[in-house]
Amino acid sequence: MIPDPRAVRPLVFLDVDGVVNDLPATRGAVRPWGQHRLELPDLTLCIPHHVPPLIQYLDLVADVHWLTTWGRHANEIIAPLLGISPLPVVGADADRSDYRWKARHAHRPAARALGAGRRVYWIEDFEGVLPEPMPPGVTYLDTAADGDYVLLPEHLPPELRPGAPPGPPS
């Protein structure tokens, strides 16, 4: 029997603000890349031109789930701008008054994926503070570690970066 390739694909939790949405650019910072700027009634979105291809590639090689305060709005507003289909939303109906809501809602799917031998990545602007409690084995990709506050190709491990051969890291 041929194994289901989705069973071995990494699971990726993806935030919006500080990952897809370039937070410094929303505040007027001049960035060295082009971007799509969208003024919404309550906020500004700045999506660098390099981000949609990164997310499209992630969607090809991994099971990507939104883990963001945007909730279902990420599929309504962000996904079309990235050129991707709607993604599952972790904690779509979560009470977001407690900053730990993301870890509480991501814990179970992360533990299931890790238990099935899959790799789990969480892409977020953690600012060096990792969420608790999460099962051991989750790899955290911190877009704020170097003050970037937006996803750059170098934040991604080789298996999730366009141009890298698919499959587990060597």
> Could you tell me the two tokens for 89?
């939303």
Give the pLDDT of residue 97: 80
Confidence band, pLDDT 50/70/90 cuts, at residue 170: very low
Which whole-number Å values give the CA distances from 29 to 17, 32, 159, in the listed order?
15, 10, 31
pTM (two decimals):
0.92
In a domain, residue 169? The reply is: no
Q: How far apart are CA 95 and CA 157, in angstroms?
A: 32
In 3-state terms the chain splits into helix, strand, coil percentages (rounded to 5) of: 30, 20, 50
80 pLDDT more than 60? yes
Strand partners, 124: 142
Lowest mean pLDDT among 54-63, 71-80, 89-98, 129-138: 89-98
In a domain, residue 166? The reply is: no
The CATH number covering residue 132 comes to: 3.40.50
Q: What are 61-74's pLDDT values in tens digits?
A: 999 999 999 999 99
In a domain, residue 35? The reply is: yes
Count structural domains, the chain: 1
Strand partners, 48: 35
Report the run of H or E that residue 125 belongs to, with start and end: none
Cβ-contact 13, 138 below 8 angstroms? no
118 pLDDT more than 90? yes
Mean pLDDT of all residues in 6-30: 93
In a domain, residue 33? The reply is: yes
**Parent domain of 76:** 5-160
Q: What are 28-39's pLDDT values in tens digits?
A: 999 999 999 999
